[in-house]
Amino acid sequence: MSDETLRSIEIERLGLGHYRATNVRGGTLTFGGDDGEFTPVELFLIALGGCGATDVDYITVKRAEPDTFRVSVTADKIRDDGGNRLTNLAIRFTVTFPDGEAGDAAREALPRSVAQSHDRLCTVSRTVQLGTPVEDRIAD
């Protein structure tokens, strides 16, 4: 992989079931604890919704600032012969814009921007939809 395409994070154990992720820019996020922190599954849902939200926001805000911009992500966690996994992934956008010409333009762009995110732009959902294999390795 080249430095231009490689994306990475490091995860450090802080205690049983409690971890800190660090990105290459120095940002940190703790997760997995019993004190209200996000679980890995919830972080996955955040990644799905956040990726789409970012795409849609950048496209529609060129026309008008939203009055309301919320994204909800749902899934069913199941266990079957394939192991633990999520099914029925759904991303729901609730976005409103002000009255007027700019708001009308943003409302018109909204369905197209959601479709563009789903079909082409969102790296997270595109990776899931295309079924990219995951390789687990133990470091030397």
Residue from 119, 115, 129 nearest 60 by CA: 115
pTM for this structure?
0.92
Q: Report, in this order, helix, strand and coil percent for the chain, each rounded to 5.
A: 35, 30, 35
Q: pLDDT for 6-23, tens place per residue?
A: 999 999 999 999 999 999
**Cβ(85)–Cβ(116) under 8 Å?**
no
Q: Where are the domains of the chain?
A: 1-37, 40-130
Cα of 62 vs its chain's centroid, Å: 22
| pLDDT value at 2 more than 90 | no
**Cβ(92)–Cβ(118) under 8 Å?**
no
Q: pLDDT for 25-63, tens place per residue?
A: 999 999 997 788 999 999 999 999 999 999 999 999 999
CATH of region 40-130, choose from 3.20.20.10, 3.30.300.20, 3.10.20.30, 2.60.40.730: 3.30.300.20
Q: pLDDT for 94-130, tens place per residue?
A: 999 999 999 999 999 999 999 999 999 999 999 999 9
> Cα(49)–Cα(128) distance, rounded to whole angstroms?
13
- Which two tokens mark 19? 């971890």
Residue from 9, 43, 5 nearest 23 by CA: 9
**Cβ(21)–Cβ(8) under 8 Å?**
no
